[in-house]
Structure 1
Amino acid sequence: MQLKPYARTLAVALSLAFVAGCSSSGGTQDGSMDSSRTGNGVAGSGVSGSQVGGTGFGSGTAGQEADGRIPQQRTIYFEFDSDRIRSEFEPVLAAHARYLRENGNSRVVLQGHTDERGTREYNMALGERRARSVERFLSVQGVSPSQMEVVSYGEERPAARGQNEEAHAQNRRVVFAY
């Protein structure tokens, strides 16, 4: 079919436009997290290398596996009350997109999570918005919609217990469940 090369070119062009449109000018909205990296996590966030299936954020490969395995980093984090993908996690998402494109039979469940602040209904919706934003990013990268499923757990499955910013930062996430 002649459409395939054109669709691939269109997907790459849309990906570049999306990334350019979402680029950050630096800083954060709430000032509690910065985008500098440390050996095991994101500085100031309390996010450690204990992500689901991951070995930490600062591994230098951004979760990419050269031998076709599922990327190691399977969790990305969000700012308070936001579903915007942070620029430091775009390489992680690109690695997952590459894996899914190269492994057409693979499926992933994008699990959206929130911290405990807000009503249960609001948090379920926010968790879904976060997972949908990851789904859109992967779709623009050429991942088939049939390979992705979105689930929101809201505040129901916290990664960290506690009512401080460190715990909240670890709970505002999307997890890739293969």
Structure 2
Amino acid sequence: MTRTITLIAATALLSLGACAKKRPEVLPPAPVGSGADAGAGVADPNAAGGAVVPGSDADFQRSVTSNTILFALDQYDIDAQARSILDSQVEWLNRYPNVRITIEGHADERGTREYNLGLGDRRANAAKNYLAARGVSPARISVISYGKERPVALGSDEGSWARNRRAVTVIIGQ
């Protein structure tokens, strides 16, 4: 009887092993990211010779000082460096008045989820309000907070935390 049970168990294990999913020989391409790395340097494949299309995300990435502004710990005020970056974004956005954007607010890993979502929202809205005060229509700007859920730096040190305290401007289309 014991021998029969052992044979049944061994047969079942061998059957399951034959059903294991095998790794494909050719892996699919990596997904296109969003946020800080979205579309960076990407040319429009439909454009002649792969040139960057005016008014596209690739054009935005190429033309502005940065798509990201950084914040101090537990802060959401726009400092001089952030103003300079946002001013370059205002110039580009005024050149393309039909382009819509989303400003993503982010926080570092410290603090509760709820606190960081609120802080990310205040950071995104601070950037939106600055752009609106400089003449960009608020109707073209949406905001979203990711709190600490989408870090760009994975370390638990001051350098990583500083890179994660940010607001990122993303082109979403016309």
TM above 0.5, one fold? yes
Q: What is residue 74 of structure 1 aligned with on the other side?
A: 67
Question: Equivalent residue for 1:140?
Answer: 133
Paired residues of 2:65 and 2:88 also in contact (CA < 8 A)? no
Percentage of matched positions with identical amino acids? 39
Structure 1 equivalent of residue 116 of structure 2: 123
Q: 1:52 aligns with which of 34, 37, 52?
A: 37
Alpha-carbon separation, structure 2, partners of 1:167 and 1:113: 13
Runs of 4+ in structure 1 displaced over 3 angstroms? Answer: 51-55
In the other structure, the counterpart of 2:98 is 105
Instruction: Name the amino acid aligned to 2:93.
Output: L
The alignment of Structure 1 onto Structure 2 pairs a total of residues equal to 117
- Secondary structure in 2 matching 1:124: helix
TM-score scaled by length of structure 2: 0.63
Displacement after TM superposition at 1:101 (Å): 1.9
Q: Note if 1:173 corresponds to 2:166.
A: yes
State the 1:72 CA deviation: 5.1
Unaligned runs of 5+ in 1: 1-50, 56-66
Mapped partners of 1:166, 1:157: distance in 2: 16
2:155 matched to which residue of 1? 162
CA contact (8 A) 1:52 1:74 kept: no
1:123 and 1:77 mapped to 2: Cα distance?
15
TM-score by length of 1: 0.61
- 2:37 is paired with a residue whose SS is coil
Q: Is the 2:78–2:126 Cα contact (8 Å) retained in structure 1?
A: yes
Q: Deviations over 1:43-68 (max 9, x none)?
A: xxxxxxxx53679xxxxxxxxxxx87
Rounded to whole Å, the distance in 2 between the matches of 1:156 and 1:117 is 11
Tell me the distance in 1 between the aligned counterparts of 2:94 and 2:115: 33
Residues 103-124 of structure 1 show CA distances to partners (whole Å, capped at 9, x for unaligned) of: 1110111000000111100000
- Say whether the 8 Å CA contact 1:52–1:75 is kept in structure 2: no
Structure-2 separation of matches of 1:143 and 1:98: 9
Q: Which has the larger radius of gyration?
A: 2
Q: CA deviation at 1:102?
A: 2.0
Determine whether 1:152 maps to 2:152. no
Whether contact under 8 Å (1:116, 1:155) holds in the other structure is: yes
RMSD, aligned α-carbons? 1.8
